[in-house]
Structure 1
Amino acid sequence: MLSALRAYFSFPNLKGRAFHKSFCELLCLNALLLCGLSESLGASCETCSCYYCLGPCCVNPSVGPNGCSGDFATTVSGLYWTTHQDGMEFAIENHVAVRIINPSSDEIEKLNQLVAADYVTPSPKWNYGFKVGASYRGCHDGWDIGAIWTHYTNTLSTHKNTSDDVAKVLLPLWSAFAPAQGEILFARDIDAKWKLGLDLIDIPLGRAFWLSHCLSLRPHIGLRLAQIDQEYDLKHKGGSWSPRLNPTQDPLSNEVELENRFKGIGLRAGLDSVWHLGCGFALCSDLAASIVYGRFRVHHNEKNTLAMEPHSETKFLETRESFRASRAMLDLVLGIQWATTFCDCCYRLAACLAWEEHYFFHQNQMWRVNRIGDTPIINGPSENLSGENVFFQRRGSLDTQGVTLTVSFEF
């Protein structure tokens, strides 16, 4: 190759089209020379058999199997994730003694003193989900375009009961009920259930290429469609909902129903990297961010049900809210991958075991409504309209994380 280059320089310079042709030939010879040096220097990077088709040669070659008319790829993933969200505390467990039947006003007022108190939130739980996707890598510089759907659901339930412990009571944080005694609201039994439904559709346009002998990158841009549905149900019993003699109150059960739904579409961009260790093994990492514009729909209902015949219901809170907003989302993946090619580099099989983190900013838009300043009544709790409602909103963020096993096949 060097002798050919020296022979080239021995030719006389030409003018016009001949000079242009000679200059192009010179560039091609230089590229071939650099490619040969790159292959000789990087021969020690992969000592095993062929685990990738095109190595880091020339100008950032595309990553993938050899194909004359483009390549297709399918991806299937199994998820085992958990989820958390800020602002989901539903009660305070207070260590103050209050009689279960007909507590006095002095006893109830002691609930203002928080003694060794703990905030109670839904207990974390793990659940399964899946991803499915397909993509096409064309002949235009190895660009690829595809779509991947992520589906994940989870239900977190927590049941707190202090009926057998006089020295413990529960202070509800989401109820706007004004009890007959007109004092501090408390309960003996609370059942909380939080349901999450997450659906994401990503449509990326990207290109995977070799940056060095053992490192490949894939920058990508595209769209994200997101639908995040939340339901939060709280059931209160005992305490302020217990039967009373003075003032008179029948036994009641209380239910608070909240819905927080978001649906939108936005832009997404990120960078995937594969750090090849040899023999098909590699470290893989993905980082992406998106801004999704969509609509929030928030519903809030509360009702009391008579715990005896005729089991009549009294609804005293019903609100609706709908607004549009943009929300940021962040995705992070870190794991270990194994890949191989076969049939003369016409097919590629890869598997990746990774830890995933997804962060959804300011998804909690649910309102807390509480009654303060209510006074005792005589004619029953359904007519207790004293006091005023206090509204509070804590805009918490939602996150999901867990283990993901992905298998992909390119052909």
Structure 2
Amino acid sequence: MKRLWQTLLLILPLSLNAFHYGSNDRESTGKIAEESSNVITPDAGPSVKGGINVFFTADFLYWSARMDGLVFATSGLGNNRSTVNKGHAHFPNWNWKPGFKVGIGHNLPHDGWDVFIEYTYIRNNAFRSVQGETLDPNWDVSDLTSFIPADRIPGVISYARGSWDLKFNVFDLELGRNYFVSQYLSVRPFSGFKFTWQDINYHVRYRTLLTDQIPESYLRMRNDVDFWGIGLRSGLDLTWHVDTIFSVYGNLALTALWAQYEILRRDTRTDFASPNPNPTPQLGTDLITYNAAKDFHSIKGVLELSIGLRGEWWFADERYHFLIQAGWEEQLWINHNQFIKLHFVESAHGDMVLQGFVLKARFDF
């Protein structure tokens, strides 16, 4: 982690100074392209006059984060002797949580290039608990599937709870150029890097039903993932200018992320009632029944999309620029569910999705 921070702190100053020669005054501030311009792709900024052309950004996020493959219990399984009512698949209740982005950039005096680095943070969690006498588990916690009778009589568990937690940290570093392709349409292709580290935890708890063969137990699973990655990121920002103030934007970015997953799974069983008069282990004893780690590297894909409305203004003889925009953003982290699984009844791997409202402000000087 220290190396990642050191790398980021070194890259930005070098990027800001690498092309810092000549005048800081650009020919165009990036309002609307002049129809008579002889430049093939006029600079679209936005930039200021007489300043250092540094800008800061801040975003407020209100996002939902969710992951595929986290069903922890189901109902609706019959006994092959009578018709069963329609059941349900139970997964955590996904929540909406606030987050933020902060960034700093510089409009370089070299052909309208710009360099920009942005940090994103969001913390999200979800949980749900259900109870009843017709529940079946989707995770083989503490060899729970061995309790299920051969004729698949439902109701192995009476209580189930699933909880999911995400700590999401990302740095995006970009080198781009914003330019007009027509009088009212500008594009900004960019390339750079994505850095990320994430903590993802999924915990499941079951309570079994006491029978003449099955003890009444609490079964608990901890599936914890420490994830980090660095990869190449490229994309395109589009802006349709209605006039010099208002515009519509649409952005796209793709990342191939070289990633490391460090995964730990631990299952615990605690019996508190047993059909056996001399149970082993003794009642109330926490018995760790599964304890394993998995560590591997892979390349994962990330897709980012956003769309929204923007307003921007120059003031004080165009020495300062202010922008505000509001829109919707979506991120797809492909095949990001890598929790350790033991049995076919468990859910398959799946994607992680983040989406929601974004409010951005930018100030240039």
Say whether the fold is shared (TM-score over 0.5): yes
Q: Name the structure 2 match of 1:84.
A: 66
Q: Specify the SS of the correspondent of 1:367.
A: coil
Of 316, 336, 349 in structure 2, the residue corresponding to residue 363 of structure 1 is 336
Change (3 A) 1:284 1:127: same
Deviations 1:199-253 (A, max 9, x none): 11000001112222111111110000022321001111142xx3x4x3473x421
69-78 or 344-353, larger mean C-alpha shift: 69-78
8 Å contact from structure 1 (residues 226, 292) kept in 2: no
Letter in 2 for 1:213: Q
Deviations 1:344-365 (A, max 9, x none): 1111100010100100011011
Q: Name the structure 2 match of 1:396.
A: 350
TM-score, normalised to structure 2, is 0.81
Of 300, 304, 318 in structure 2, the residue corresponding to residue 331 of structure 1 is 304
Change (3 A) 1:310 1:66: same
Q: Name the structure 1 match of 2:19.
A: none
Change (3 A) 1:406 1:344: same
Of 128, 146, 156 in structure 2, the residue corresponding to residue 186 of structure 1 is 156
State how far apart, in whole Å, the 2-side matches of 1:182 and 1:88 are: 21
Deviations 1:88-120 (A, max 9, x none): 111112366xxxxxxxxxxxx669986423211
8 Å contact from structure 1 (residues 54, 64) kept in 2: no
Query: Per-residue deviation at 1:281?
Result: 0.9
Q: Name the structure 2 match of 1:133.
A: 103
Change (3 A) 1:193 1:319: same
Deviations 1:120-153 (A, max 9, x none): 1112211110000000111111211121001111
State how far apart, in whole Å, the 2-side matches of 1:114 and 1:175 are: 24
Query: Per-residue deviation at 1:198?
Result: 1.5
Change (3 A) 1:391 1:208: same
Larger % of helix: which? 1
355-364 or 255-264, larger mean C-alpha shift: 255-264
Q: Name the structure 1 match of 2:127.
A: 157
Change (3 A) 1:299 1:229: same
State how far apart, in whole Å, the 1-side matches of 2:114 and 2:222 are: 45
TM-score, normalised to structure 1, is 0.72
Deviations 1:255-284 (A, max 9, x none): 111113321101000111111112511101
Q: Name the structure 1 match of 2:31.
A: 52
Change (3 A) 1:181 1:110: farther
* Structure of higher CA gyration radius: 1
Answering whether residue 218 of structure 2 is matched by residue 210 of structure 1, we say: no
8 Å contact from structure 2 (residues 32, 244) kept in 1: no
State how far apart, in whole Å, the 2-side matches of 1:181 and 1:191 are: 19
Residues 9-408 of structure 1 mapped to structure 2, 5 A cutoff: 52=31, 55=34, 57-59=37-39, 60-67=42-49, 70-94=52-76, 115-162=85-132, 168-178=133-143, 183=149, 186-239=156-209, 242=210, 244=211, 246-247=212-213, 249=215, 251-278=216-243, 280-307=245-272, 311-370=284-343, 394-408=348-362
Query: Per-residue deviation at 1:181?
Result: 6.0
State how far apart, in whole Å, the 2-side matches of 1:210 and 1:198 are: 35
State how far apart, in whole Å, the 2-side matches of 1:198 and 1:218 are: 27
Query: Per-residue deviation at 1:188?
Result: 1.0
Change (3 A) 1:62 1:344: same
Deviations 1:9-44 (A, max 9, x none): xxxxxxxxxxxxxxxxxxxxxxxxxxxxxxxxxxxx
% same residue: 23
